[in-house]
Amino acid sequence: MPVNLLYSVHAFIRRPQPRGVPAAVKNRYVEKGDWNRSLVQEDLRLIVDLLIVLATALGGGLLASALKQPPLLGYILAGVIIGPAGLAGIREVVQVETLAQFGVTLLLFSLGVEFSLGKLRRVGGIALGGGLLQMGLTVGLTAAAVSLTGWLTPIAGVVLGSILALSSTAVALQSLAATGQTESLAGQAMLGILIVQDLAVGLMLAVLPALTATGAGLGSALGFALLKLVGFSLGALVLGRWGVPPLLRFLAQRESRELFLLGVVCLCVGIALLTQALGLSSEMGAFVAGLMIADVDYADQTLDYVEPLRDVFGALFFASIGMLIDPQFILTHAPLIAGLVLLVMVGKCGVAVPVTRLFGYPWTMALIVGCGLSQIGEFSFILATAAQGLGLISRHLYLLVVGTTAITLLVSPVLLPWVVRFVEQWQIGTLPPEIPVAPIFREHIVIAGYGQIGQDVAQILAAHGASLLIVEQSEGAIAQVRGRGLPYLCGDATSWGILQRANLPQAQALVVTIPDLASIRLCLKRALQLAPDREVIVCAPRREHIDTLYRLGATKVIHPDFEASLGLSSHLLTQLGVPPQQIQMELAAIRNHHYQDLNLEEPACLLPLAPPSLSSAS
């Protein structure tokens, strides 16, 4: 199937196409009387077009949000509806696309401002090593496949591979949040790879113009482009160290939100135009402008001011991308595009899974990471548009890329939750291995997860002489456990073997503080299979998870955010002079009401008035 598909792509791309805009299409925008309209009317036409685009994007975004999808999919759909291939409701297409370019600039500028080395450190080696390896393999395999078979030139293959190598940060984060995987190891690994991909966009855009050179001039063009990039980077480093901080400080001292925003926008657009003049790319310049501000004290303030402007023009950009999609084109070539979608998603997953495994992640997590990265990203639209403008890819290949990208963005949010459920059911169905139990653990309390909540619980219980056993698989957390001299098992708390080694049937209780719902459910199910009568206390990541976890058999379910609000209220009431006994009674009533709303038999309580005895569970 893949071979036939690639031959179909090759035949379609090489097919001769007529040049120019068909008269039928042109007449949909330009009527005879349009040439005689006044300048004021032309300006008003542009305002009307912007209103149509933004209003339709709003409707599309609301629809996508109702379907639990990222709003950008709704923006793209809006562009399809009002674009040339749809209702043809926009006349000033060129002017709208020019304004949409400002959205690209602000998107990349915000990406640079949000970047921090701390994000890369949190996810370890898979961020830099795994991200670069995943992109390198995708580019290399794509270029080799299309060039060795003669379907595309090697340069076009590299460009196509670069477009396919990127994944959608917005869609991936939305899918992780929907499946409760954001704070899981798989989610953090995916986040690390996405960060490196986003950072690579600037470099890719900087190198694209050099790829237009041919023959012997290609090497020198690439070398010259890299030399310009290094020179610009050094200048940006100097400006970001000694020029930008005083400028932002000066603007902030004016204590005017408008002046600060104008100054930041001028800085962003000015550097973007500078890089454009240097032959790099305006998008890369906007990204570097954001990096200059990322480590300055005013970075959060800058992002707060720019975000509304970015969101408006970003919606305009994605709507303009939708205008380029021709539904008739997609329907006419539906089998070809469907095959490309399957080939791309399976291929990207096939690259990401072994790369993730290479960094020590189990197959189940690697599969989640691979499926989460299987779509083509929103920044691929920017890369593809720039490549087409430079003549590096043909118009027909560009249409295939846009159509394939749009469909992968629609399929991926549906695919990942299904894969997560499949992995969970597969793990539950696995027979428990026969692993000898370490006899040292008796009458102990097992704490699964050593995040902030797990650390606090362990500290309080250890202070009262309780026998503890920490189960954690993060090396950073294990180092903290070692430093405090607590007994631990290094491994996944959802694993049969680890739970057996923890001697759960002889424990007093199990406390589950794992941050993602899928792992919590699996840990709870397996723990109750091993020790059905054991007390299991679970922290629910979100309020709507409480009822589910109780129904799965948890003895107590705690909602940390709600309990934190009670702690804050207790402190404030104390400051207001309310008697402590009254505070306790009122908080107990609020707590009971909160948990009874979930139709539970009894309320959970982080700080109960009468501490329960754990010994009764043993």
| Of residues 374, 353, 379, 348, the one with CA closest to residue 364 | 353
**pLDDT band (50, 70, 90) for residue 130:** confident
With 60 as the cut, is the pLDDT of residue 33 above it?
no
pLDDT average, residue stretch 82-95: 76
**pLDDT band (50, 70, 90) for residue 27:** very low
Task: List, in sequence order, every residue forming a beta bridge with 471; answer none if it has no partner.
Answer: 448, 489
- pTM of this prediction exceeds 0.75: no
- Let me know if 347 is exposed, middle or buried by CB neighbors in 10 A (0-12, 13-18, 19+): middle
DSSP state letter for 152: S
Cα-based torsion angle of the residue sequence 530, 536, 538, 543 in order, rounded to the nearest 10 degrees: 100
pLDDT average, residue stretch 277-296: 78
- d(C-alpha 298, C-alpha 306), whole Å: 12
- d(C-alpha 472, C-alpha 477), whole Å: 7
- d(C-alpha 516, C-alpha 539), whole Å: 10
- d(C-alpha 618, C-alpha 606), whole Å: 21
**pLDDT band (50, 70, 90) for residue 251:** confident
- d(C-alpha 400, C-alpha 322), whole Å: 13
Residue range 328-357, pLDDT digits in tens: 888 888 888 888 899 999 999 999 999 988
**Under CATH, which number does the domain 44-420 receive?**
1.20.1530.20
Residue 199: φ, ψ to 5°: -65, -35
**pLDDT band (50, 70, 90) for residue 41:** low
Residue range 528-584, pLDDT digits in tens: 888 888 899 998 887 777 888 888 888 888 888 888 888 888 888 888 888 888 888
* Residue bearing the bigger pLDDT, 83 or 38: 83
DSSP secondary structure letters along 42-61: HHHHHHHHHHHHHHHHHHHH
Q: How far is CA 446 from CA 353, 453, 607, in A?
A: 32, 14, 19
* Secondary structure, 3-state, 323-386: HCCCHHHHHHCHHHHHHHHHHHHHHHHHHHHHHHHHCCCCHHHHHHHHHHCCCCCCHHHHHHHH
With 70 as the cut, is the pLDDT of residue 365 above it?
yes
Output the average pLDDT for the chain: 77
| Of residues 551, 561, 560, 562, the one with CA closest to residue 528 | 551
Tokens representing 500 are: 């057996």
pLDDT average, residue stretch 299-328: 82
**Under CATH, which number does the domain 445-617 receive?**
3.40.50.720
Q: How far is CA 509 from CA 442, 523, 560, 596, in A?
A: 11, 13, 19, 24
Inter-residue contact 106 to 316 (CB < 8 Å):
no
Domain boundaries, the chain: 44-420, 445-617
Q: What is the pLDDT of residue 123?
A: 58
Q: What is the pLDDT of residue 407?
A: 85
Residue range 589-613, pLDDT digits in tens: 877 776 655 444 444 444 433 333 3
